Amino acid sequence: MIEVAIMVEGQNGLNWPRWQRLARAVESLGFAGLYRSDHYTNHEPPDLDSLELWVSLTWLASHTKRIEFGSMVSPMTFRHPTMTARMASAVDDLSGGRLTLGLGAGWQAREHANYGWDLLPVPQRFDRFEEGLEVITRLLNSDGPVDFAGHYFQLKEAILLPRPARTGGPKILIGGTGPKRTLPLVARYAAEWNGNVIPPAEFARLNAELDRLLQENGREPKAVKRSLTTNIVYGKVAQVLRQKVQMMGGDASRLKERGLLVGTGSEIIEQLGGLQEAGVQRVMLQWLDLDDLAGLEDLAKDIYN
C-alpha cells in the first residue's frame, strides 16, 4: 500500500503543546511520517503561532523513534545554505537517519517583506536556489574542504564537521511542478520529488517527464522517490463529511478534480489506490486542524485496520 504521512502548516497556530501532541499521535497511530512547512506567517493576516522549523525538528528527532520527518519545504531565502547543511546533518544524526531535507526557492512575498528577506524576481530566485543546492550537496557529500565561487554564495576551504553518519547526509527533497526549472533541479540534486495538490493524471504526466530528465542526467528513475502533498477532507461518517465539504464550497467532485482527497475511510482508501497507480509512493496529507487528534485517530483506524 502507498505510504501515508501527515503534513501540517506550521504558520497556522503551531506551538509546543500542539506540536508535541501531534508528534506523539502520528508516531503511535502508524503513519509513515510527520512533515511541516517553514514559514514565519501566512500570506495574509491574521498572524498566528508559528514554531520555528529547525527547533521543532530537533525536538522531534529526540522524542520520536519510528517516524520519518522533515521540512515541506524550507526556502533557501531564510538561511545561508551552509547553515542549513549543518543543521540538517546534525538533526539527521540525532534521529538515527530519519530526516528528509525538503528545500525550495521561496515564494511567499508577505513574510519576506515583513521580516527583511530578499525574495528576488523568479529567475534570480531560482538561480540562487540552484547555487544553494550545489553548496548543500557538496558539503554533505565531501569529506574534504569545498571551494565554490557563485554569484550568491562563496565557499573557501569549507568542510562540514562532524561528517554525517549517513553517507551523503539527509536525503534532499525538492517540491514543485515547474517543468523548466524545478523538475530539472530534481533530476540533478534530489532523492525525492514532491508534487503539491495535483490530480493523479497530472502527477503521472510529470512523473514520466521526471523519468526522462533523470535518464538525461545519467540517473535511474528509481533513484528518486515520488511523493505528493495534498489536502484531505475526511469524515468518519457521511454526515460529518457533508458538513466539511459544505464548508469548502459544497462540491466534492470539484475538490477531487483539484487533487484533494475527499471521503469517508473507504473512499479515501480508493483514492489512495488511484494515486499509487499514478506513481505516488508516499502521500503527505495536509492536516489543517492542529487540534483534531480524534479525527486523526479515526483516519488511521480506517486506513490501517
Which H, E and C letters describe the chain, residue by residue? Answer: CCEEEEEECCCCCECHHHHHHHHHHHHHHCCCEEEECCCCCCCCCCCCCECCHHHHHHHHHHHCCCCEEEECCEECCCCCHHHHHHHHHHHHHHHCCCEEEEEECCCCHHHHHHHCCCCCCHHHHHHHHHHHHHHHHHHHHCCCCEEEECCCCEEEEECCCCCCCCCCCCEEEEECCCCCCHHHHHHHHCCEEEEECCCHHHHHHHHHHHHHHHHHCCCCHHHCEEEEEEEEEECCCHHHHHHHHHHCCCCHHHHHHHCCEEECHHHHHHHHHHHHHCCCCEEEEECCCCCCHHHHHHHHHHHHC
pLDDT of residue 226: 98
Beta-carbon contacts of residue 302 (< 8 Å; ≥ 6 apart): 236, 264, 265, 266, 268, 269
Residues in the chain: 305
Summarize the confidence of residues 173-192 as an average pLDDT. 96
pLDDT of residue 250: 80
Q: What is the CA radius of gyration of the chain?
A: 19
Q: Where residue 35 sits, what CATH number does that domain have?
A: 3.20.20.30
148 pLDDT higher than 90? yes
With cut-offs at 50, 70 and 90, classify the pLDDT of residue 170. Answer: very high
Provide the domain limits for residue 268. 3-304
Distance CA 106, CA 292 (A): 29
pLDDT of residue 249: 85
- Contact between 57 and 70 under an 8 Å Cβ cutoff? The reply is yes
Q: Which of these, 179, 183, 287, lies nearest to 234 by C-alpha position?
A: 287
pLDDT of residue 248: 87
Grid cell for residue 107: 515564494
pLDDT of residue 127: 98
Summarize the confidence of residues 54-59 as an average pLDDT. 98
Which region, left, alpha or beta, applies to residue 244 given φ > 0 means left and ψ of -120 to 50 means alpha? alpha
pLDDT, tens digit (0-9, with 9 covering 90-100), for 183-228 = 999 999 999 999 999 999 999 999 999 999 999 999 999 999 999 9
Grid cell for residue 304: 490501517
Summarize the confidence of residues 220-244 as an average pLDDT. 96
254 pLDDT higher than 90? yes
166 pLDDT higher than 90? yes
pLDDT of residue 1: 80
Summarize the confidence of residues 105-118 as an average pLDDT. 97
Q: Percent of the chain at pLDDT above 70?
A: 100
Residue type, 180: K
Distance CA 86, CA 81 (A): 9
- Contact between 70 and 101 under an 8 Å Cβ cutoff? The reply is yes
Q: What are phi and psi of 103, to 5 degrees?
A: -130, 145
> For residues 82-120, b (16+ Cβ closer than 10 Å) or e, as one string?
bebbbbbbbbbbbbeebbbbbbbbbbbebbbeeeebebb
Q: What are phi and psi of 249, to 5 degrees?
A: 115, -15
- Provide the domain count of the chain: 1
pLDDT of residue 126: 97
Q: Which of these, 303, 297, 291, lies nearest to 48 by C-alpha position?
A: 291
305 pLDDT higher than 90? no
pLDDT, tens digit (0-9, with 9 covering 90-100), for 4-44 = 999 999 999 999 999 999 999 999 999 999 999 999 999 99
